[in-house]
Structure 1
Amino acid sequence: MKKLSLNDGTKIPLVGFGTYKCTEQEGIESVRSAIANGYSLLDTAAIYGNEKAVGKGIKASGVSREEIYITTKLWRENLGYESTKKEFEKSLKKLDVDYIDLYLIHWPANAKNYDNWQKANADSWRAMEELQAEGKIKSIGVSNFFQEHLEALFETATIIPAINQIEFHPGYWQQELVAYCKKQNIAVESWSPLARGKIFGNEVLEAIAKRHNKSVSQVCLRWIIQHDVIVIPKSTTPKRIEENINLFDFELSTEDMELINTLPEMGFSGELPNNWPDLI
């Protein structure tokens, strides 16, 4: 598996396995199946309610902990210094591991939910910096942070986030934010890479897929990694799990990339960091 170098000197697999909605036995089996198919990056979060299942899936795979890259996330309602420390320990216990490879603030605080959103994010980040110094976290990052949230964080942070995980897919790929992150040497990771299924039936994507003898999913995932963006597709279907990692035996042309770049908006989740908990 190809890897991307992060600003802290560590490396992360370019393609990983998303576990959103993978719970209980189905979650255990999908994680075990993903690892058997060559995935080593697993992405979960406290709010997904499946950290225990992910941990059990890793154990069931028989692959050593050192060969697996685990990402989990701090939920936005638990921001703050002490709360971050407590929530991290809960995640560690549920996953049944000694350390986390990548820990993210899942969503930034905002003015609707915190009296001082800048301080809430900064206090959580300070706790994460300490946990990293203790060796409990290899890399620290954020998710769904806009430029304004990153700039506020930079005022107190001693460590620049390694990653910003954002909504990124054909029809909604936040070009300006991506350019800003790359300028700051922050890697970008895509969630909802298949646009909540809205990519299927798109004539442009179908034509490109036919030309390469690949699925529409594979074309979209390949488009993402050709933007040097990490991708974490999720599935509980063995065939899809296998298909989603087979992205390295073809390449999209400059013309293909531009066609996908210019697709009209589709599949946007409606979720924005300054609007939660309300959808627009």
Structure 2
Amino acid sequence: MSTNIMLNNDIELPALGFGVFQTPPEETVTSVTEALRVGYRLIDTAASYFNERGVGEGIRRSGLDRSEIFIQTKLWISDFGYDEALHSFDKSAGKLGVEQIDLLLLHQPLTTAFDRTIGAYKALEKLLADGKVRAIGVSNFMPDVLDRLLAETGVVPAVNQVEVHPYFCQPDVQQADKEHGILTQAWSPMGGITSYRGDASRSTFNDPVIGEIAQTHGRTPAQVMLRWHLQEGRSAIPKSVNPERIAANFDVFGFELTADELARIDALDTGVRGGPEPAEVTLEAFHRDIPEA
């Protein structure tokens, strides 16, 4: 069983989760069922992944009690605004087949229409107060935008889910999160996003430093990267549809990296973001219709 992290509202979150970004709906069912069989208890999805229904079905097929599974999803910018976000919760909960969502995040800040971002977050605060969600948070919020949010809202986010992997560590974001008591949760935690760019030599999976550390411990580069996150106090949500990798990614609790090894991985940071610049995420460029439940 994975270790848990206590959030700032005293809710426990499994440190290691299972992600379904870009997983087709039909594969989502089988991969989620397999992840839960292996031992994952945190499942991360999003309205804009269009596979929440598959996540819900995978959870039902697992045979596990709902109370054993931590479900987190994210509201897309097209549903920002107070009333829109309240309705977006209904859409997500309906597709997931649950009454309560454990952690609900704003998927991106909408910096060009920040009043709608504030409205959506205030809707999250209302859902939290009403017990419809157990914790609320944000994703891809940079420190300046986080400050703007905190200045206009009452509940400090429990989590900020951002791109963090050995080639892009975002130390300023991690430090800002820490100062506010916000857990940093890593998406693309093994730098899978670095593999999409067509240059395999710049993939974290082929990095010689990570490879050498992996060899020392008799582990895979992926396992070393996930262990790095956990030892530095982050939550991480790796994704895979391959049963062997799903299992291997969860098998990261039986070894420990040294302080020197952690520092060597930290030093690989290139400062180059793989995902979109958060400030460039606009409704014009990124609008997606989120279907009803």
TM tier relative to shorter chain: over 0.9
Shift in Å, 1:22: 2.0
The answer to whether the Cα contact below 8 Å between 2:108 and 2:281 also exists between their aligned partners in 1 is: no
The answer to whether the Cα contact below 8 Å between 2:170 and 2:271 also exists between their aligned partners in 1 is: no
Distance 1:151 1:54, change over 3 A: same
Query: Which structure 1 residue ranges, 4+ long, deviate > 3 Å from structure 2?
Result: none
* Aligned residue-pair number: 274
C-alpha separation in 2, matches of 1:144 and 1:24: 24
1:205 equivalent to 2:210? Answer yes
The answer to whether the Cα contact below 8 Å between 2:187 and 2:237 also exists between their aligned partners in 1 is: yes
Shift in Å, 1:264: 4.3
Tell me what 1:15 maps to: 16
| RMSD value, Cα | 1.4
Tell me what 2:130 maps to: 134
C-alpha separation in 1, matches of 2:94 and 2:272: 35
Tell me what 1:26 maps to: 27
The answer to whether the Cα contact below 8 Å between 1:195 and 1:268 also exists between their aligned partners in 2 is: no
Code of the aligned partner of 1:171: Y
Give the alignment partner of residue 239 of structure 2, picking from 228, 231, 234: 234
Unaligned runs of 5+ in 1: none
Shift in Å, 1:25: 2.3
Tell me what 2:95 maps to: 94
Distance 1:232 1:151, change over 3 A: same
Unaligned runs of 5+ in 2: 196-202, 287-293
Tell me what 1:175 maps to: 171
The answer to whether the Cα contact below 8 Å between 2:184 and 2:234 also exists between their aligned partners in 1 is: yes
C-alpha separation in 2, matches of 1:267 and 1:102: 29
Deviation string 1:164-218 (CA, Å, 9 cap, x unpaired) is: 0000000101001101111110011000112124212111110000000000000
Deviates more, 1:50-59 or 1:144-153: 144-153
Q: Percent identity?
A: 37
The answer to whether the Cα contact below 8 Å between 2:45 and 2:51 also exists between their aligned partners in 1 is: yes
The answer to whether the Cα contact below 8 Å between 1:181 and 1:187 also exists between their aligned partners in 2 is: yes
Shift in Å, 1:148: 1.2
Deviates more, 1:1-10 or 1:270-279: 270-279
Shift in Å, 1:82: 0.8
Instruction: Give the number of the structure whose residues are more often helix, by fraction.
Output: 2
TM-score under structure 2 length normalisation: 0.91
TM-score under structure 1 length normalisation: 0.95
